[in-house]
Structure 1
Amino acid sequence: MTVKAEFIARLAAAGLRTVEATSFVHPKWVPQLADAEELMPRLTGLPEQYPGLRLPVLVPNERGLDRALAHHATEIAVFASATETFARRNLNRTAGEALEMFRPVVERAGAVGVPTRGYLSMCFGDPWEGPVPTAQVVDFGVRLLELGCTELSLGDTIGVATPGQVGALLQSFAEAGVPMARIAVHFHDTYGQALANTLAALRAGVTTVDASAGGLGGCPYAKSATGNLATEDLVWMLHGLGIETGVDLRALVSTSAWMAGQLGRPSPSRAVQALAGRPV
């Protein structure tokens, strides 16, 4: 847990201003996150030290919201599915039932001034159901926004999307009246398409991209969900495009190399592999 707190502090020091801190899921289901109550107090001073720093937390239900609010969370996120099978496996509910479970969470959070982000998983493909129809994704995405979520993050949970599919899905959301300012993208690099997909999203007008420092991550309920898009790889591309991120890439690479040492395995990030120990 001390390592987690230092990791978040290092990411903030490197210039990242939104770091999802933890999840208030029941420890029985994700033991790696059982220390959420211990971690949150260690982060209390970071927003003052780094103005503009946001530390959202994931909550699965009202009980999770109670725990998050007790620890003074200022932003939360809920995690829905665009497919029935993954909703059953991840939340033990139908996709529609999960949305209804989130309704009081979003409403209660909003009533105390805490915004909610909505994650929507399996937006392009599902390991059990195969390709996911665009209309189905748009339907669930719009319903999340109608619940009161301030932002919708579209997840390619198993990393099967290609740039053409990304563009088509975003166009469908635009046609449904959803502005790109309310859309974020969340890509996994299973087939090496995460950066290409991100570029397609940027060209469509999306400006919020989820990424994972060092390319860490996956999903315990979808074994084919390999590592997320590495933040370092994303920043390298954005800087190459002339986009200002406010991120110190040298410090970020150093942080992910440090975390790789803590985990005892090399970082899957290509930028970390290329730049660790070298000038940036």
Structure 2
Amino acid sequence: MNQFDLFRRLAGMESDPRSIEEIWKETSSQPDFVDSRDCGLVDAVQSGWYLGDSNELFRGFPISAEDAVLDVGCGAGGATLFCANRGAHVVFTDVVAEKIESLHARVAQTPARKAEGFVSDSLPLPVADASMSRVISMEVLEHVEDPAAFMCELVRVGQPGALYLLAVPDPVGENIQKIIAPPSHFKQPNHIHIFEREAFARLVTDAGLEIVRRDAYGFYWTLWMFLFWISAKAEGFELDGASHDFVKPPYPPLLNDWAKLWHQVIKMPEAAPMKQALDQLLPKSQVIVARKPENR
């Protein structure tokens, strides 16, 4: 069973002769439909991401046209594109060649002063010593076999005084997911490390960086993943391999309902303190902004 079969079963459309594309198009075109990804973007901005007015990719991590930015494990490229749209020199890496090719095409439509993309597992990085003023690694460390060696590579390519934006899944949500997620989610190529909060901080400082700020965010996505695993398990959905291959549209109806509900909640200014508290209580990710010392 694949994610399309899961969608059909949970939507009660197993006998519907239409293609998944046709069904999803009808579902997503409803006036009250809220796409999970769109809700996630609104939620992220409220958590301090993609701050266009201040040109901060995240609070305390500003980007300018003078910056040379490395995005390691760029994925779909949201961070790279934010930096490219500010005119920065962007360098992006990923192990999936199709992602690099796709991102190259999108960056070409931005005012980035220079763009370089590499297919790389990051050990080593195809980047010169002390050449980057900004280094980004979001949701990558939990996948690599040797996080300390990976961090040393990140430090190597940063200029003295360079800022680093580092994020990994938070251990509270990860440990709950271990109860309900399939075992494959915690094996290669998925998450093979769970970083307790102080261990994550030590990994950063042991690599020679100074922590500037620490934060957490993403209650919305934590609960979203819980609901995904529960929905799949309830239908006997066998999940194996890379999680990103099946955690993608079309989403089960329960997840569409959750996105709609959460979107309605966070549109209310009065809900901000509650969202902030839940982001700290059950975050998706822990975030560190760090700096490379001037004498390194």
Taking structure 1 as the reference length, what is the TM-score of the superposition? Answer: 0.35
Q: TM-score normalized by structure 2? A: 0.34
